[in-house]
Amino acid sequence: MSSRIQHPGLAQKIMSASDAAALIPAGATVGMSGFTGSGHPKLVPQALAQRIAAEHAAGKPFQVNVWTGASTAPELDGALAKVGGMHQRLPFQSDPLCRNKINAGELHYLDIHLSHVAQQAWFGFLGRMDVAVVEVLGILPDGRLIPSAAVGNNKTWLDIADKVILEVNSLPPKEMEGMHDIYYGTAIPPRRQPIHLTQPIERIGEPYLRVDPNKVIAVVETHHGDRDTAFARPDAVSNQIAAHIIDFLAHEVKLGRLPKAMLPLQSGVGNVANAVLAGLLDGPFEDLLGFTEVLQDGMLELIKRGKMAAASATAISLSREALKDFTDNIDFYRQRIVLRPQEISNHPELVRRLGVIAMNAMIEADIYGNVNSTHIMGSGMMNGIGGSGDYARNGYLSFFVTPSVAKGGDVSCIVPMVSHVDHTEHDTQIIVTEQGLADLRGLSPRQRAQVIIDKCAHPDWRPMLQDYFDRARRQGAQHTPHLLSEALSWHQRCLETGSMRATEDELAAVA
Amino acid sequence: MSSRIQHPGLAQKIMSASDAAALIPAGATVGMSGFTGSGHPKLVPQALAQRIAAEHAAGKPFQVNVWTGASTAPELDGALAKVGGMHQRLPFQSDPLCRNKINAGELHYLDIHLSHVAQQAWFGFLGRMDVAVVEVLGILPDGRLIPSAAVGNNKTWLDIADKVILEVNSLPPKEMEGMHDIYYGTAIPPRRQPIHLTQPIERIGEPYLRVDPNKVIAVVETHHGDRDTAFARPDAVSNQIAAHIIDFLAHEVKLGRLPKAMLPLQSGVGNVANAVLAGLLDGPFEDLLGFTEVLQDGMLELIKRGKMAAASATAISLSREALKDFTDNIDFYRQRIVLRPQEISNHPELVRRLGVIAMNAMIEADIYGNVNSTHIMGSGMMNGIGGSGDYARNGYLSFFVTPSVAKGGDVSCIVPMVSHVDHTEHDTQIIVTEQGLADLRGLSPRQRAQVIIDKCAHPDWRPMLQDYFDRARRQGAQHTPHLLSEALSWHQRCLETGSMRATEDELAAVA
């Protein structure tokens, strides 16, 4: 018996990935582990994809619905998308092949707030779950499970699935045991109780996942690494954005609107988030705390260097280099990091109570402060909303960040009207680009527009935005002045020409 | 000394409304009581408006910022808007004169989620509050205050304002004493604690508002009724919408996705809400509970008839007829109604924990489930978002309702793309018109579109919507198929012609 599988009954269910995949029926709804490229099952999804390809080659239809924690990796979303094996997918994803299927209209993608997924599954709103495929780091003699680098929705999938397949991965350090805090106090209304968490790294649950051994139909042994989430050095634009944010936070502390140790930080993924965290390494703040979804290299470094006292997340997603540091110093990090179900890491009750400072990337913002985090030119899905809505709506402060332009300057990320709204004007507070920071708190839409144009727009696009705003202010209702016939014309032009820029002819026609 | 003003020190501060209004300086930020036409100060705002008019006549500038609980009445918003006396107004409003000022670009209106207002004020994000003008029903010998028919933000305004003016209204029954539950356990992060409310009418606070008597600069005696919020008999369209909702709820109970006594009901204002509540009078549900913002005639009737056991709200807003019943039977109702600060009635933590069933009116929805609750044709403000976002995002079930057409059929309330987004596709679950009910749970955008077109659109508009959707599905990315050059053309046409209908010429040009 492998030392990672200590339950005798479950050890008897060890089989190959393809034998396990053969137990998943066509049409099944499968709950998989995985959050931001970590903690996903490594072998069963690939074996399932092979089986699906073979069935398709034989002319037989075979698709499954796949529910995860968030994005996974090529071995899961990529492999299943490649063979056209998914009918429905939820929630966040970021795989190129999966995205292509979604935007080709061949895959139904449900973009749900990460804090809502588990409860909607419990409520029965999404249908039944047939099989859960969950990666764990070990099985205790009594059948309890050591969670992996991502907790995600695993607690819920193990609870609600009819059958369970476990992948036991022996590569990640077994010393992660004890790092997790699995809360079993959730319930369905009207039986819900307060969640008694008042500090980011307080423990309110237990370190193991529970599973009914009788539901387990297969155990698959693996020894595979998570996705290597490469950590890019922040570029100049990211550093400028980060500097604006850090200046602003210091100013808020000075005005007494933030405590000296700030409030717990949530940081989305990507270059700008990394740059902000890197900036905090040299910033004036001490004893920081994290309350976030994904703990990446930047936050790990803050902990390592003693600037951040501790952090709560639902997943750890690291570069190869950082993973080595994490593994080498696992005892140090285990005392400073708590991994929770995403339902808890993103819970509105807790995000509001703790007063999280949220920092999330976006695709574009409009002059009135509406934010698009998900769609390219109104129709195409990028990755999904993730937890940005959980944090932006409920946090103490919320930043949405983007470079002011994209595609080498052909696209302005500040537009008259966003082509899709993920965060409404009621939910956005602070918009930041490398050009500057627009503090929208306490401003009316017309006031916001002038501040966003002045502070955030790229100088190349500022005159066009000002022109739009000025002309809109000369006609129609004036709460949120718009010219509806032009509001989305920048995006339409980009679809037609690859650039939002007007041609000489168009400019002449307007003049 | 009036029997309603039992604190000797405060009794000495009794003065006329105009003397009190004279204590409010130009440029002040004034926090006023008032929520949905009840509990607003009746005399001081009018006296202030007279003073402002006189100053303006003398060529002197004079405006104030006005923060309330929600909408008020002609004596407050109307009087101040009429004389151009407001520079800034937040949050919800519904006064015609006030709306005109907003849409003329002469009044900066901040449309904030009702659950966010108090905390943003506490955080210092909105600036300082100079004066609070709060209606109460009486002053105890120790200076504590008997709240009025609306609690709203009064607790916060009394706490944070530099100075306080009290209007003591002797018209509402003094026997409302004891009906309120003022929670003093809120705090600023990082000192926040769980809010220990697990049943809608549990009491977690105290029945009185506190005020520092030294801050009180004036006490004004009034004897005036609240706004008579006329209760319209539901019309045929409202009854059809209500029938769809009640059928759906009964179906959910049957499927085991709702308990037999359902879950606490939140009901927005308006005809459809009244119709749903009227429908519940004869429906199969017993022992209902309410957890809502405003308790109106419909919910009072449910309580009276024993169908609803009890209700929590932040305000009571009744027709003259219902007010008489409420007053005549105040002892009965005091045991079954709890009035709370709006920060608690709308709190995300509580709305999610209790599993509220939310029903709110909207202006329009698009085929992908985005909802516009606030704007007319993209630019003009109607009333504001109110608490609809608090309930829709955090509730167990959320309905958005509207007749399928407006303006005698010239406007479709189901459109290709909404002209403003208040509730995103991530937050909406069930869309209802008199035509039918679209259950969007677990559907991708393309699936949602077909269901909304089939179930909710008016037959006159269904072919045009289907045509838009079909053509959008033949080009571009297919997650949320849109034709950006046409997406807002229905609204643009309506602005130009008063109707969304295409002219014969336009149809010919397309054909």
pLDDT of the residue at B509: 67
**Contact list, A110 vs chain B (CB under 8 Å):** 442-444
Q: Establish whether B293 is a catalytic residue.
A: yes
Residue B309 Cα distances to B200, B264, B484, angstroms: 10, 11, 50
Please give the average per-residue pLDDT across B490-499, as a whole number: 97
Query: Between chains, do A127 and B442 touch, taking CB under 8 Å as contact?
Result: yes
- Chain-chain contact of B425 with A491 (C-beta, under 8 angstroms): no
> Which chain B positions have a beta carbon within 8 Å of A105's beta carbon?
446, 473, 478-479, 481
Which residues of chain A lie closer than 8 angstroms to B479, CB-CB? 102-103, 105, 109, 375, 379-381
Q: According to the model, what pLDDT value does residue B451 have?
A: 98
Q: What per-residue confidence (pLDDT) applies to B378?
A: 98
Neighbours of A96 (CB within 10 A): 11
Mean pLDDT of B432-448: 98
> Least CB-CB distance to B385: which of A120, A421, A426?
A426
Q: Which of B293, B301, B343, B364 is catalytic?
A: B293
Tell me the per-residue pLDDT of A233-244, one tens digit each, with 9 for 90 and over.
889 999 999 999
**pLDDT tens digits along B379-408:** 999 999 999 999 999 999 999 999 999 999
d(CA B483, CA A294): 36
Q: Closest Cα of chain B to A380: distance in Å? A: 5
Contact B272, B361 (CB under 8 A): yes
Q: Which comes out higher in pLDDT, residue A298 or B504?
A: A298
| Percent of chain B residues past pLDDT 70, beyond the cut | 99
B355/A477 Cβ within 8 A: no
A124, A353, A422 member nearest B424 (Cβ):
A422
- Distance separating alpha carbons of residues A219 and A167, to the nearest angstrom: 6
Burial B301-314 (b: 16+ CB within 10 A, else e): bbbbeebbbbbbbb
A37 within 8 A of A72, measured Cβ to Cβ: yes
In the predicted model, what is the mean pLDDT of residues B123-132?
98
Whether the pLDDT of residue B1 is over 70: the answer is no
Which tens digit of pLDDT belongs to each residue from A456-491?
999 999 999 999 999 999 999 999 999 999 999 999
Chain A residues closer than 8 Å to B429 by CB: 125
Quote the CA–CA distance of B505 and B407 in Å, as a whole number: 22
Contact B381 A477 (CB under 8 A): yes
Give chain A's radius of gyration (CA, Å): 24
* Nearest-by-CA chain A residue for B193: A198
- Does residue B228 register a pLDDT over 90? no
Work out the percent of chain A whose per-residue pLDDT is above 90.
93
Q: How does pLDDT run across B67-84, given as a tens digit for each residue?
A: 999 999 999 999 999 999
Q: What residue in B sits closest to A485 (Cα-Cα)? A: B492
| Residues A77-87: tens digit of each pLDDT | 999 999 999 99
Report pLDDT for B417. Answer: 98
Contact (CB, 8 A) for B499 and B411: yes
Q: Which of A109, A421, A478 has the CB atom closest to B479's CB atom?
A: A109
User: Shortest CB distance from A482 goes to which of B354, B378, B385?
Assistant: B378
Verify whether the Cβ–Cβ distance B421 to A426 is below 8 Å.
Answer: no
d(CA A53, CA A35) in angstroms, rounded, equals: 25
- Whether omega before A190 lies within 30 degrees of 0, making that bond cis, reads yes
pLDDT digits (tens, 9 = 90+) for A152-207: 999 999 999 999 999 999 999 999 999 999 999 999 999 999 999 999 999 999 99
State ipTM: 0.97
Please report the pLDDT score of residue B2 as a whole number: 58
CB contact under 8 A, A485 and B478: no
CB contact under 8 A, B478 and A419: no
Pairing of strands B308-313, B337-339: parallel
Residues from chain A that touch B192, judged by Cβ atoms under 8 A, are 198, 352-355
Q: Which of A108, A129, A484 to mutate to test the interface with B (most CBs of B within 10 A)?
A: A484
User: Strand order of the sheet with strand B288-291?
Assistant: B337-339, B308-313, B288-291, B265-267, B357-361, B397-401, B430-433, B436-439
pLDDT given at position A504 = 76
Which of A105, A127, A472 has the CB atom closest to B446's CB atom?
A105
pLDDT at B231: 78
Bridge-based pairing of strands B131-139 and A337-339 is: unpaired
Tell me what the mean pLDDT of segment B336-343 comes to: 98
Q: Which residues pair with A90 in a beta bridge?
A: A67
Closest residue of chain A to B87, computed from CA coordinates: A444
Minimal C-alpha gap between A189 and chain B (Å) = 5
Q: For A114, which residue in chain B has the nearest alpha carbon?
A: B426
**Residue B510, pLDDT score:** 60
Sequence-separated (6 or more) residues with CB below 8 Å from residue A233 = none
Phi, psi for residue B185 in degrees, rounded to 5: -95, 0
Below-50 pLDDT ranges, chain A: 1
Average pLDDT over residues B428-438: 98
Buried b (16+ CB within 10 A) or exposed e, B37-61: bbbbbbbbbbbbbbbbbebeeeeee
Q: Bridge-partner residues for A290, per DSSP?
A: A265, A311
User: Tell me, what's the pLDDT at A456?
Assistant: 98
* CB-based contact A278:A253 (threshold 8 Å): no
Tokens 């530099």, located at residue? B162
